[in-house]
Amino acid sequence: MVLPKGQNPVAVAIAQALVAGFDKHYRVFRATSREAKVRFESGDWIGQQRAVRDRIAFYDQRVREAAGRLHAEFGAEFLDENTWAQAKLLYIGLLTNHKQPELAETFFSSVFCRVMDRTYFHNEFIFFRPAVSTEYIESDPPAYRTYYPLRHGWRATLQRICADFGWRRPWADLERDIGYLIAAARASFGGEQRAEPNCQILVLASAFYRNKAAYICGKLINGDREYPFVVPVLHDSGGSLFIDTLLLDPFDIGRVFSLNRAYFMVDMEVPSAYVHFLRTLMPGKSRAELYTMLGLGKQGKTMFYRELAHHLRHSDDEFIIAPGVRGLVMVVFTLPSFPYVFKVIRDEILPPKETDRETVKSKYLLVKQHDRVGRMADTHEFSKVALPKTRFSAPLLDELRRACPSILEENDVEVVIDHLYIERRMVPLNIFLDRAADDRIERVIRDYGDAIRELAYANIFPGDMLMKNFGVTRLGRVVFYDYDEIEYLTNCNFRRIPEAPNPELEMSGEVWYPVARNDVFPEEFGAFLLTDPRVRAAFMAHHADLLTPEFWQTTQARLRGGYVEDFYPYPQAIRFCRLTPTLVPVP
C-alpha cells in the first residue's frame, strides 16, 4: 500500500494485520462448515457433533492470535488512540469489496476490546454501528439457485433441485419422495392454486447440516405471493437418502431454526446474503438470531447488543428482578419491555449449592458446545456490559451490590457488569403451573417429561430438575435453563435405593447406604418433583419410567455404544413415513 502523506504506518500495519487475521478465521470456519457435507454423506454423526463444538472456539483463537501479533510486532506503539482511530478508517477502506464485511468489522472490535481499556469502547474506535453495507454483495456461485417449474415440469424441477446438492449417496426412492412432496404441497395450497407466469423456486445453494439431517431451504414465488419451505433429508437404515417431510408452516420452520438447538453448518461465501434470504422465510426472526443460528455467534452478539442499545434509547421502563423463585447461584433481572433475562453469578453461591463461579461458567460453556435438542436455552455471554444507571430499579441495584459486588462497577451514569449471560425470557414452569387449568397441566407436564427424556438421549442430565429450572417458551415448549448442576449422563451412576436392613432405619428418614458424588437415585425424583396430585397424575401417565434406574442405565448403554439419537425439530405426525398420500401424475 502506498501511504498518503502524513499517514501513520503503524495504523496501516494494524489494519492489514487485522484483515489478514479475520480472513484466516473465516477460511477455517468455512472449511469446517463445508466439510459438513462430507460428514453427512459418510454418516459421521459423532464427527458432526465434534465439528460443531470445535468450531465455536475458532473465533476466540483467531482474536487471541491477532492481539498477540500486534503485541509482538508493535509493542506499546499500537496502544495509541490516534493510531487506532486511523487504523479503523483504513480498515473500512480494505473492506470495500470484502465478502464478509460485517463479520470483519466485528473481528476488529473484538481485537480492540481485548487490548484496550473499556473507556474507549465507542464508535470512534470500534464498530458500534456498521460502516460497510452488506446489501447486494455478489457471491460466486450465487447464494441461491432459481428454478422454473413451468419450463421443465414440477417433477423434473424437484429432481434437479435434489441433484444440484451433489450428495454422494444414493436415494432410496427419489421418485416416491417427490410424489410425497407434490402431494403435501397440493394438500397445503389447495387444488385450485394456479401457476402464474413468474412461478419460480428459489433455493439456497448450500444445504443446512445439523445432527443427522441436511435441510434444503427455499421459497416458491407465484404471482405476488411467496411460500417459504424447508425440506429435511435423512439417511434410512441402509444409508440411502430420503426426504422426511415438507415444512410449509411458519411455526414449524421457526422451530427448525430455534436457538434452543445446535447451530447449523452451512457453506457461505456471503453470509449476509443467507441471512437476508432467511429473513424472507422467517420475518419474525431477528438478524442477530439468524447469524447465531448459522454458527456466527460473535456477529449475533454484536447485532443483539445493537438491538438492546436501540431498545434502551426508545423505551423508559426499568430493569427489575425477574419474577420467580430467587436463585441460589444467579441474580436474574429483566427489562419488562425487552424479551430477555440477564443472569449474573453471585460472588458467594448459597448453600446447599456446592459450586463456584468458574464451575458455573464451565457448565454454560458445555451447553453452548452441546446439541441442545430444542430443550436447552441458548445464551449470549458478555463481558464488561455498560447499562444506564437510571434504568435500574432500586431493589435490583441493591441486590446486585449485595450479591455480586466483585463484578460490579458504578459511576454517576453507568452500571458496568463484568460478566453476565443473556437469554430469551420464558415463563418459569412452576409459575405456569400455578396459573394453568387442568387440561394445560396435562399437556405441559407431558412436555416436561419429554424434555427430560430428550436431554437424556443427548447425554445430558439436568441435575436439578425442579420446575423452577424449566421454562415455557412463546411457542408452549418446555425448555431447561438452569445449568449449574448439569452433567453428562454418562458421568452419572444411576442406582436403585437398597433395601433397609431393618424397619427402624427405613422409617427414620436417614440415609442407610453410602452415596458417592455422582450417584443418582431416580426413585427419589417423585418426592420433590411430583408433590401436586395433578402434576403427579400427568407425569405418571406418560413418564413413569423416568423414576426407574433402568431407563437411565439403558440410555447410558446406548450412548456409550456410540449411538446418536434422531431428533426431529418438527411434529412426528407430518413425517412422510406416517402418511400414505395418493400420488397424482404431474407434468
Name the residues annotated as catalytic: 378
Instruction: Give, rounded to a whole angstrom, the gap between the first and last alpha carbons of the chain.
Output: 59
Q: What is the DSSP letter of 358?
A: H
Chain-centroid distance of CA 119 in Å reads 31
With H, G, I as helix, E, B as strand and everything else as coil, classify residue 380.
Answer: strand
Q: Cell numbers of 499, please?
A: 433395601
Alpha helix (H) residue ranges in 223-329: 250-256, 271-281, 287-293, 297-313
Residue matched to cell numbers 427419489: 174
Say which amino acid occupies 290. L
The rounded distance, in Å, linking the Cα atoms of 229 and 402 is 51
User: Grid cell 410425497 — which residue?
Assistant: 180
For the stretch 240-253, what's the b/e string if a residue is b when 16 or more beta carbons lie within 10 angstroms of its beta carbon?
ebbbbbbbbbeebb
C-alpha–C-alpha distance, residues 551 and 544, integer Å: 10
Measured from the Cβ of residue 195, the count of other Cβ atoms closer than 10 Å reads: 12
User: What residues form DSSP beta bridges with 310?
Assistant: none
Q: Round to whole Å and give the CA distance between 52 and 262.
A: 8
Residue 58's H or E segment, with its range, is helix 45-74
Write the DSSP string, 195-238.
Answer: PPTT-EEEEESS-EEETTEEEEEEEEEETTEEEEEEEEEEE-TT
For 529-542, letters b (16+ CB in 10 Å) and e give: bbebeebeebbeeb
Taking every pair of C-alpha atoms in the chain, what is the biggest distance, in angstroms? Answer: 93
CA 511 to centroid of chain Cα atoms: 41
Q: Is the bond preceding residue 352 a cis peptide, omega within 30 degrees? A: yes
DSSP secondary structure letters along 59-110: HHHHHHHHHHHHHHHHGGGGG-HHHHHHHHHHHHHHTTT-SSHHHHHHHHHH
Contact 41, 167 (CB under 8 A): yes
Helix or strand or coil: residue 568? coil
Return the bridge partners of 386, or none. Answer: 416
Q: Grid cell 456409550 — which residue? A: 560
DSSP result, 405-468:
GGGEEE-SSEEEEEEEEEEE--EEHHHHHHH--HHHHHHHHHHHHHHHHHHHHTTEE-S---GG
Beta carbons of 110 and 58 less than 8 angstroms apart: no
